[in-house]
Amino acid sequence: MEVDLLIIERNSFLYEHLSGRPGSKDYRIFQSRAPMETKRILKRKDIDVVLLDLNGLKREGLALLKMIKKMRPAVQVIIINSAEQLSLSIEGMRLGAFDDLFIPLDLEALIERIKEAFEHKEKTESKKPSFFQRCQDLMVAASFAEAGEDDMAREILAKERAHKRCIKDKKQKKSK
């Protein structure tokens, strides 16, 4: 199992601890400190799990979480935060984060959650919607477009394309 892991943080605390740890060969670790850098990595790499340090990024981190889920819906995001900013963690979970962990971190618990997030992503991607479900989604999108709700129709169709892209990326990753 090789997990493509993106760490988004202001300092290099998580990056240094995970990359220097025994068993780090199970991970291809990428690091980002800025939104544009994160976007670039997500476009070029098939990231499985993201560690998002809200402790340093605060509200900017929530905007990044929205962007990640929009670009790559199957990517699982684990929030790292302090207990003083519980409201940010709650909002992050509402936006689709897989889990949140509080500082100080138990590194072994973090590793276990990364594995669980990766397995969850694999299960999510392998669930192909039925032919009936895909037809139903297309009909709903067509109905919205006909009613003049073009944005909603595009959003429904974008989810279908995102799912196809996830399956394609997964097949390419396995063939390597």
Q: Are residues 76 and 60 in the same domain?
A: yes
User: What's the pTM?
Assistant: 0.71
Q: Are residues 54 and 80 in the same domain?
A: yes
Calpha distance 137→139 (Å, rounded): 5
Q: Are residues 28 and 56 in the same domain?
A: yes
Per-residue model confidence as pLDDT tens digits over 9-61: 988 788 887 777 756 678 899 999 888 999 999 999 999 999 999 988 888 99
Q: Are residues 84 and 34 in the same domain?
A: yes
Range of the domain at 154: 131-175
What residues pair up with 4 in beta bridges, in sequence order? Answer: 28
Per-residue model confidence as pLDDT tens digits over 85-126: 899 999 999 999 999 999 888 888 998 999 999 999 988 776
Tokens 């276990």 identify what position?
112
Q: Are residues 135 and 120 in the same domain?
A: no
Question: In this structure, are residues 80 and 107 in contact, taking their beta carbons and an 8 Å threshold?
Answer: no
Q: Are residues 20 and 58 in the same domain?
A: yes
What pairing do the DSSP bridges indicate for beta strands 76-81 and 49-53?
parallel
Q: Are residues 114 and 169 in the same domain?
A: no
Please calculate the CA angle 82-66-133 and round it to the nearest 5 degrees: 125
Q: Are residues 122 and 135 in the same domain?
A: no
Per-residue model confidence as pLDDT tens digits over 128-176: 667 777 788 888 888 888 999 888 888 878 777 766 666 666 666 666 5
Number of compact structural domains in the chain? 2
Calpha distance 58→67 (Å, rounded): 15
